Structure 1
Amino acid sequence: MAKPRVLVTRPAHQAQGQMTLLCSLGIDPVSLPLLEITAVAEADSAFPLLKSNIMDLDLYHKVIFISANAVTAGMDLIDQYWPQLPLGIEWFAIGQQTALTLDNFGITAQRSPAGYDSEALLSLPLLQNIAEQKILIMRGEGGRETLAEQLRQRGARVDYADLYRRSMPHYTSEQIISSIIDKPLAAALLTSGEAVNNLTQLINDHDLKALRHTPLVVPSERVARIATELGYTRVMTASGPDNQAMAETVLSTIDMDDRT
């Protein structure tokens, strides 16, 4: 019998590891990125503020990276302006993959073992008594404000370094037909609320109502709530956004007898 097809929606440059793992488990992964990551360029009107924050890095007590994408874009800029990292900064990461990416740059970051989101990071003891401390959040433009709001309520002075923008890739009807419509999907993997919103836009634009009943695997209860509120009827929550956790949840939704 044919292998079950699973839609992988990570940005193109981050999808390969997930697809390789799914292949090894007898699954046919189909890549359809629902987010496109574009770094803020020097010609961009937002770049002077970003550059200023990076050049003032030594003035911050703590630096928090929101994602692996933030690490990649942020460390590229830091390397340009800081041949050696300033001393005395406490580094933080949301999620294991973000921390591992920082480790590749020689930075050991604090992360929460309690989860993969802002709420989990905020539970760390090192982020409790932070009155008058300066904190820089390295992130993509926009996104949730929960982290900064809570840190400010605790008395910290918080700045953003907006390193990249997220957008919805454009797909032709032919691309949609070949990836989604030609053969049925056993499940779809979505790693953020924004990806769920973009899938919903895709469904509306191409009249793909049946996708609302395709099993969705998401990384957290927060993303699961977003999907449920948007009308998806089969939402499964993985133990985290990493490839292994998402793959294990996919396997639990698929009839093992159907895999070859």
Structure 2
Amino acid sequence: MPKVNLPLDQRNIIITRSKEGILDIKKIFTSKGANVFDLPAISIGDPDDLNPLDEALNQINDFHWIIFSSSNGIKFVDKRLRYFNSSLKECSKKTKIAVVGEKTSKTLDDFGIKADFIPPEFVAESLIDNFPVSGYGLRVFVPRVQTGGRDLIADQFRMAGARVFEVAAYETRCPDSIPEETIDIISNRKVDAIIFSSGKTVVNAAFLLEKKLGKQWLDYFDQIKLLSIGPQTTKICNKIFGRVDSQAQKYTFEGLLDLAINIFS
């Protein structure tokens, strides 16, 4: 029987993400025939200091808007609210919620919450340009990653006259190692593409690869297609690898899947 609709059949693709986040993404690539290898380039946990987050959550019903730019922000804010016998769903009855990104929106849906605003494009700039009300006089809560995120949303709302509470809700850290099977396939030069889902995955993957393969680690990547999820990731990729082969048109993993299919079909 001929194989039906497997445009990535036998393609070896490395996905860089958090260990927890790779599973769902793996499924959409393997469903198109790809062999997927994990390179968990971030581990996700609480910020070093929870006090600023707790202070913000203590006044969560006084904010006009909460702006989430990542699924992790939603998960860690809800987790901490539950520690105080509340929940994000409960708070969403009084405070409006905006999200950047399709996956962030879906995560909010999974919590039983409908976003009050989703920008037409899944980038911070689109949220700022299309926000439904003036920022002037607003109290805005922006939960974010502790290090490495962008300040654009908070900065723009401050400039518009909003009072912004920008607080670390979680931190992404570099794992200790790379799975041996992933190192083996890189060493044997059998990788077709590596997918980067954020600037931090690029930086951490480079650190881990150099640690494992030595100073000449970049030599193993000369024939590998480097695929980026969006403009910020592309920027970091260019800085570290000196190139990006292609960037997803839609800044999601589905966009990256379409990109890989276009390249390898």
| Common topology (TM > 0.5) | yes
Q: Which residue of 1 aligns with 2:137?
A: 132
Find the partner of 2:198 among 163, 177, 192: 192
Q: Does 1:223 align with 2:233?
A: yes
| Residue range with higher mean Cα deviation, 187-196 or 70-79 | 70-79
Q: Which residue of 2 aligns with 1:146?
A: 152
Does the 8 A contact of 1:63 with 1:89 survive in 2? yes
Find the partner of 1:208 among 195, 217, 220: 217
Deviations 1:73-129 (A, max 9, x none): 111222333363264311011101111111122221111112x221121112325x1
Q: In percent, how many aligned pairs have the same letter? A: 20
Alpha-carbon distance, 1:14 to partner: 1.0
Does the 8 A contact of 1:214 with 1:234 survive in 2? no
Q: 1:121 to 1:182 in 2, by over 3 A?
A: same
Q: Does 1:13 align with 2:13?
A: no
Q: Does 1:233 align with 2:243?
A: yes
Does the 8 A contact of 1:33 with 1:169 survive in 2? yes
Root mean square deviation, CA, Å = 2.1
Q: 1:135 to 1:234 in 2, by over 3 A?
A: closer
Which amino acid counterpart does residue 141 of structure 2 have in structure 1? L
Number of matched residues?
A: 248
Q: Which residue of 2 aligns with 1:113?
A: 120
Q: 1:172 to 1:181 in 2, by over 3 A?
A: same
Unaligned runs of 5+ in 2: 1-8
The normalised TM-score by structure 1 is 0.87
Does the 8 A contact of 1:213 with 1:233 survive in 2? no
Deviations 1:165-219 (A, max 9, x none): 1111111695653352235110011111111222232343323213255211111
Deviations 1:111-151 (A, max 9, x none): 1112x221121112325x11121100112112111111111
Cα distance in 1 for partners of 2:37, 2:24 equals: 13
The normalised TM-score by structure 2 is 0.85
